[in-house]
């Protein structure tokens, strides 16, 4: 029974219903319940009861009870992987990385120039691009600098939130290549963005013929500004920086341009003083997104859930260990398992309350097995930074806390 205060008791107006209530002296009486109080308790009694400040109709809005946010910095923002389900990233939660801000581009004024070693240098408006036969594919996009470790209080978002997945729609770059006529000697092309950094990357022409997309849509709608509105390059399976956003120019040539991004950035130390360049492919990786910091767990049945992906093909298998890597079990893969795509995996586990570590490793269709941090450092002999894809472990404490296990040499 509900306790009512004297003011409510005395007020006869605007009652929505009658209820049994208890007075201050403990006597049960019939009272009128004020409208606000009644609706606040039971949404089924409020027709069209959208929360205040949420307009109906024009644009769907996430429930105010859901606190999904990207974690932003001056130069990037990270997807809350631990809060998502399935394989698609809501467009507004797709990670972003930019090199001098997100430009405001009027699509009516934006054009794409393709020139260099071509038969006919051509300029395409956005409307022109949309007239061509379109393609769509679901694939992940990951920044090659997508790795953090070093303290226990890191969430999947902190550790590898620079990966996201969308359905990308646009025109095949191969279609545009045919339209301008690529000269036989062309081996590379330069992709240039229309942002304040005029981002440029050199890309082998073969990738353009294989599966590159000049994309204007993401998850059914126009690209979000942070994703390159109105048009971007999308290179499935390749490090995110090569998928140049706000694309304004493609130049065909016989050699790479050696731009700042492919020389002083996005290259990695690989031992003996050597620096690896043009490392485009994203190697296979996985991460358990539940249980994961910061959400605690309770003993009993736990569905271990996570994401796995490979830039070299499909996820063949994901193995999960619940005993700190001593033994591994094969997880269930959620269908569809797509090429160069985030794949959801699951494993049911009964936790008896003992302290342990859980971790996952992805095996892709090329036979590559996701390595440990130590294996990566041994192979590269240096502090690499880019293309780090190690197995990530979560410590399960006796009290149910879940903490990242920092990687150490």
Partner 1 sequence: MTNRTCWRAGFLLGMVGLMAGFRPTTRFPLTPSAQTRSLDTIPTPVRFGFGRPATTAELTRLDIDVRPDGKGLPAGAGMAVRGKTIFATKCAVCHGVGGTGGPGGALVTTTTATTAVVGKRPDKTIGNYWPYVTTVFDYVRRAMPFNEPGSLTDEEVYHLTAYLLHANGIIDEKAVITAQTLPKVVMPAQKLFIPDDRRGGPEIR
**Which residue from 2, 3, 131, 299 is in contact with partner 1, where contact means CB under 8 A?**
131
Give the residue with the Cβ less far from partner 1, 9 or 368.
368
19, 35, 122, 333: residue in contact with partner 1 (rule CB under 8 A): 122
**98: contact with partner 1 by CB under 8 A:** no
Tokens of 194: 């229309």
Out of 79, 169, 267, 360, point to the residue binding partner 1 (CB under 8 A).
267
* Residue 133 lies near partner 1 (rule: CB under 8 A): yes
Report the relative pairing of strands 221-222 and 300-309 from DSSP bridges: unpaired
- Pattern 6-45, partner 1, x by CB under 8 A: ----------------------------------------
What is the per-residue binding string for partner 1 in 304-323, x denoting contact by CB under 8 A?
--------x-----------
CA distance 119 to 178: 10
Is residue 368 within the footprint of partner 1 (CB under 8 A)? yes
- Pick one of 142, 158, 192, 316: the residue that binds partner 1 (CB under 8 A): 192
Distance CA 113, CA 191 (A): 10
Query: What's the token pair of residue 348?
Result: 């049911």
Span interacting with partner 1, options 8-16, 42-50, 90-98, 119-127, rule CB under 8 A: 119-127
Q: How far is the CB of 116 from partner 1 (least distance, A)?
A: 8
The residue (of 152 and 179) whose beta carbon lies closer to partner 1 is 179
Q: Which is nearer to partner 1, 71 or 372 (CB)?
A: 372
Asked whether position 328 contacts partner 1 by CB under 8 A, the answer is: no
Neighbours of 32 (CB within 10 A): 19
How many degrees, rounded to 5, is the angle at CA 160 between CA 89 and CA 354?
105
Write down the least CB distance from residue 210 to partner 1, Å: 14
Q: 217-221: list long-range contacts, CB under 8 Å, 24+ apart.
A: 217/168, 217/169, 217/170, 218/91, 218/94, 218/166, 218/167, 218/168, 218/169, 219/88, 219/90, 219/91, 219/166, 219/167, 220/167, 220/169, 221/91
Size of the site for partner 1 (CB under 8 A): 57
Residue 352 is a binding residue for partner 1 (CB under 8 A): no
Q: Give the residue, chosen from 161, 230, 240, 371, that forms a contact with partner 1 under the rule CB under 8 A.
A: 371
- Which long-range CB contacts under 8 A does 257-262 form with residues at least 24 apart? 257/188, 257/190, 257/200, 257/202, 258/202, 259/190, 259/200, 259/201, 259/202, 260/200, 261/99, 261/199, 261/200, 261/201, 262/201, 262/202
* Distance, CA of 109 to CA of 344 (rounded, Å): 40
Q: Which of 387, 165, 128, 158 is nearest to 278 (CA)?
A: 387
383 binds partner 1 (CB under 8 A): yes
187 binds partner 1 (CB under 8 A): no
Residue closest to 215 by CA, chosen among 255, 178, 166:
166
Q: Which residues bind partner 1 (CB under 8 A)?
A: 99-100, 113, 115, 120-125, 128, 131-133, 178-179, 181, 190, 192, 196-198, 200, 248-249, 251, 253, 255, 257-260, 263-264, 267, 270, 273-281, 283, 312, 366-369, 371, 375-376, 379-380, 383
């Amino acid at each position: 029974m509900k306790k009512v205060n004297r003011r409510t008791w005395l007020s006869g107006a605007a009652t929505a219903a009658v209820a049994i209530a208890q007075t201050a002296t403990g006597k049960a009486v019939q009272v009128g319940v004020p409208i606000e109080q009644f609706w606040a308790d039971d949404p089924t009694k409020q027709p069209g009861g959208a929360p205040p400040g949420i307009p109906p109709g024009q644009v769907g809005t996430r429930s105010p009870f859901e606190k999904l946010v990207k974690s932003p910095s001056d130069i990037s923002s990270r997807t809350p992987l631990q809060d998502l389900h399935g394989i698609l990233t809501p467009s507004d939660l797709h990670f972003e990385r930019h090199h001098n801000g997100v430009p405001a581009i009027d699509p009516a004024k934006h054009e794409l120039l393709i020139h260099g070693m071509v038969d006919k240098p051509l300029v395409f408006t956005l409307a022109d691009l949309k007239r061509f036969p379109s393609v769509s594919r679901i694939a992940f996009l990951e920044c090659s600098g997508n790795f953090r470790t070093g303290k226990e209080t890191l969430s999947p978002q902190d550790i590898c939130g620079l990966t996201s997945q969308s359905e990308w729609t646009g025109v095949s770059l191969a279609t545009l290549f045919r339209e301008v006529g690529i000269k036989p000697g062309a081996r590379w092309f330069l992709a240039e963005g229309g942002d304040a950094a005029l981002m440029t990357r050199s890309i082998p022409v073969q990738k353009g013929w294989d599966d590159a997309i000049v994309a204007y849509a993401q998850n059914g709608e126009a690209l979000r500004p942070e994703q390159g509105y109105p048009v971007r390059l999308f290179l499935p399976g390749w490090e995110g920086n090569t998928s140049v956003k706000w694309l304004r120019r493609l130049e065909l040539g016989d050699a790479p341009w050696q731009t700042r991004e492919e020389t002083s950035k996005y290259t990695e130390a690989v031992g003996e003083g050597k620096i690896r360049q043009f490392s485009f492919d994203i190697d296979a990786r996985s991460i358990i997104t539940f249980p994961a910091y910061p959400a605690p767990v309770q003993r009993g049945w736990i569905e271990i859930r996570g994401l796995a992906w490979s830039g070299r093909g499909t996820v063949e298998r994901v193995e999960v260990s619940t005993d700190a890597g001593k033994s591994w079990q094969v997880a269930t893969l959620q269908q569809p398992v797509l090429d160069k795509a985030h794949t959801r995996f699951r494993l049911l586990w009964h936790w008896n309350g003992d302290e342990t570590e859980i971790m996952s490793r992805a095996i892709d269709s090329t036979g590559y097995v996701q390595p440990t941090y130590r294996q990566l450092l041994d192979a590269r002999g240096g502090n690499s930074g880019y293309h780090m894809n190690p197995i990530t472990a979560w410590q399960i404490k006796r009290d149910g806390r879940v903490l990242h296990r920092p990687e150490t040499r």
